Structure 1
């Protein structure tokens, strides 16, 4: 009697967290006529993919990057009936990398479907194992992080997130030396909470300040508090630690995914814009005091409405207020042009497009502030 191979999910769950790519590759060898395989993971800037099985090998090529961007499998036919299959490694919309499988036979639709299922299992295992081994961190980092950046990356919820009614993505720069800018999100049922922060100051002190604020808001949110209570608890925590000498500019949003209604607490410099069919408008909110400026800070919500297919962009002051070389603020017109150029891109690609446009706007002048961009598509 022929013994069927164990499901790849079972094999990955039983494997040490640092050996997942090897276990997946070995399963491929036992299951298919295999010529080779490679697992590629994205770098922190989401602009290149790097090999895990052969860490001394070159970065991924054009086709793998296309799969990473499109999030669709791609079959590249070779000679003598061989096929190279490339598949996205993605969990809940969070793009991790690409799996490349070189087969010694043609890859028909059923084979691609089977390989995509394997890639999904591998992506889920990689996401679960990320904090139990440094192997994958080392692949994604192409240079050493500052201590401030280390704190910020450890605090992030993820890079992108998809649901039935929304697509969401965020990006920070400079990736290896950021300071106090940050974003956070959480979805429960029909409620999506989104926060963009700008901690005052530079270096590790700014990162520590933001860490206090983010964890205070998470503590309140996970206890069932609304965004007003989240802002007030965070403000109290920051003031208790810094006595008003430092503060955190913050925009808190709670989005009802069932009808697009948004409640906002505007406590500082992050700005929100809405794009719809090429038209871009700023969300007008009355600004309240940043978190931690005074003891017993109190906040009020304001409301605005999203329409189906609206794109909501939230940016820190390192984006909208950037004035490199004395140029007009990036948010005055260049940001609107960049946002219009993302109409056909999903949020995970759009944040990169806007960030590249920001770098181009600096035209060789070094960025003097870190920057956050978060993009939400409400699909209804």
Structure 2
């Protein structure tokens, strides 16, 4: 479109469904060859076509404390916004549009969702807002999220925008290894968080939803720093390889054990928890290799630990593990964590143990948060309860099973 064809501010904007289809179609046509640094100017230009102004793209930082503004031509470069107690943070945490009436119009904050993972928030101001605007902006925000996630694999633009502190080399490796921090479908949701975000090393987790089977692993590699990050990378790589080879849970343990022992020697190890959840039935199976037991949460209260048979940590050549099993109820949550969460010592020398963790879970549960919000609030509350101390990695992964089916999403109305 040349300058003479571009509508001026005085031209009445067509806000119909047909206009929205054409606008989104134009973006899709350009998306495959769009350089990452041009996404921001394109978004600002297209939002202006429906009368929008003051466009901001806010991306979550690694600690999930702030939403960081993405710089770019045509974008409003404002200050970072707190995830807690801000309209942008509410849109981010609750995955819904938030509207704030102000002088001269309405400020809309729309979650940037990709595969149900929250990338951040798009903010835009409109003089007047109707349902056509809301529908179009929701779809535009979804497309922007897809573009950011797709382009992020070959640019540093978005990664750098998300940072509020410098990052260690070990943390660089760990963040590159992780799947999205959140995945949600009608039957199940997974949410995770890592501490310390900019210096994490040996902790990691992985998951994959294959048909009706959710595969989950959480690992904690011995030590800290770069050596722990390298060992964690090998452990997750071995887990993914064996999982994708359709190996059962004991076989996954055996393969991970072999890889760690061969590559790092007899004195190095990784604690691990491997799970499989049938999202259609709630049938949960797990194998424990020297890792803290997961907690079963029902109605926001901890019922107890999911204990069972265990074997030696990965790398020590333990016996073939037995598979533990449990049938979950709809709404049950399973909380996995690494020992850094419970083995921290407070200022007086007392260990911050499991009873304190359970107390904090009950405190956070009183607010009845969704899984993503609960993981974030729980991690931050636990850090405060430990006096802000995090001398070891402290990672949380929460699974909520809901049951039901997603078949209706494959049917066109």
Counterpart check, 1:285 vs 2:308? yes
Match of 2:158 among 136, 148, 167: 136
How far does the alpha carbon of each residue in 1:122-181 deviate from its partner, in whole angstroms, 9 at most, with x for none?
A: 111111111110000001112221111111001001110001201110000000111201
Moved >4 Å (runs of 4+):
1-6, 326-329
Q: Deviations over 1:33-71 (max 9, x none)?
A: 122201110100111011113596311261111111111
Distance 1:286 1:326 in 2: 35
Deviation digits for residues 92-132 of structure 1, max 9, x if unmatched? 221110000112x2111221111000000111111111111
For 1:53 and 1:370, locate their aligned partners in 2 and report how far apart those are by CA, in whole Å: 31
Partner SS for 2:296: strand
Partner of 2:89: 65
The question of whether the paired residues in 1 share the 8 Å contact of 2:47 and 2:53 is answered with: no
1:360 to 379, 384, 406: 384
> What residue is the counterpart of 1:257 in the other structure?
279
**Is this contact kept in 2: 1:12–1:24, CA < 8 A?**
no
Q: Does 1:236 align with 2:258?
A: yes
Q: Tell me, which stretches of 5 or more residues in structure 1 are unaligned?
A: none
Tell me the equivalent position of 1:374. Answer: 397
1:16 correspondence with 2:35: yes
Contact residue 58 and residue 68 of structure 2 kept, 8 A: yes
Q: How many residues align?
A: 375
Q: Is 1:194 matched up with 2:216?
A: yes
Q: 1:254 to 1:326 in 2, by over 3 A?
A: farther
8 Å CA contact retained: 1:236, 1:297? no
**Matching residue of 2:110:** 87
Q: Which runs of 5+ in 2 are unaligned?
A: 8-18, 404-413
How far apart in 2 are the matches of 1:318 and 1:132? 33
Matched residue SS, 1:172: strand
Distance 2:153 2:187 in 1: 29
- Aligned to 1:307, the other structure's residue is in SS state coil
Q: Following TM superposition, by how much is the alpha carbon of 1:323 offset from its aligned partner in structure 2, in angstroms?
A: 2.9
Give TM-score, length-normalised by structure 2.
0.86
Deviations 1:291-312 (A, max 9, x none): 0113x85333111221111011
Secondary structure of the residue aligned to 1:142 is: coil
Q: Give, in whole Å, the separation in 2 of the partners of 1:121 and 1:107.
A: 20
Does the CA contact (< 8 Å) of 2:70 and 2:161 recur in 1?
yes
Aligned with residue 101 of structure 2, among 77, 81, 89: 77
Is 1:305 the counterpart of 2:323? The answer is no
| TM-score, normalised with respect to structure 1 | 0.93
User: Which position in structure 2 is the counterpart of 1:111?
Assistant: 133
Which residue is 1:27 aligned to?
46
> RMSD in angstroms over aligned alpha carbons?
2.0
Judged with a 3 Å threshold, the aligned counterparts in structure 2 of structure 1 residues 25 and 56 are, in CA distance, closer, same or farther, namely closer
In structure 1, the partner of 2:183 is: 161
Q: How far off its partner does 1:78 sit? A: 2.3
Pairwise CA distance, 1:346: 1.3
The 3-state SS of whatever aligns with 1:229 is helix
Q: Is the 8 A contact 2:58 2:69 kept in 1?
A: yes
